[in-house]
Amino acid sequence: MTEKTNPSFRHIIRNLAIEMVLYAILLIGYFLVVLQYVAEPLTNYFNNNLTAYAFIGLGLIIAQAVLLDNIVVFLIKLLGLGHSE
């Protein structure tokens, strides 16, 4: 079989490592942005309206997952590495 249909173990590990580094960089950037701009409003929601805080937090978690995954998939395709699913 060709390498495109049956990639070697080393190729898969390399792609996974690159994907993990991309996730780490994006996650650190996301964390810094949230810490800078969203921490105070979230603290206010936590102190004043716990239900709203819970829903906003859940929405942020889902949005983060979707956004970061889409960015990483785009970068993986851009680099020509293939997405490891």
Residue 27 pLDDT greater than 80, yes or no: yes
Share of the chain above pLDDT 70, in %: 87
Contact 63, 73 (CB under 8 A): no
Given pLDDT bands bounded at 50, 70 and 90, which one contains residue 45?
very high
When pLDDT is averaged across residues 11-35 and rounded to a whole number, the result is 86
pLDDT beyond 80 at 3: no
Domain ranges of the chain: 9-79
pLDDT at position 4 = 55
pLDDT at 48 over 90: yes
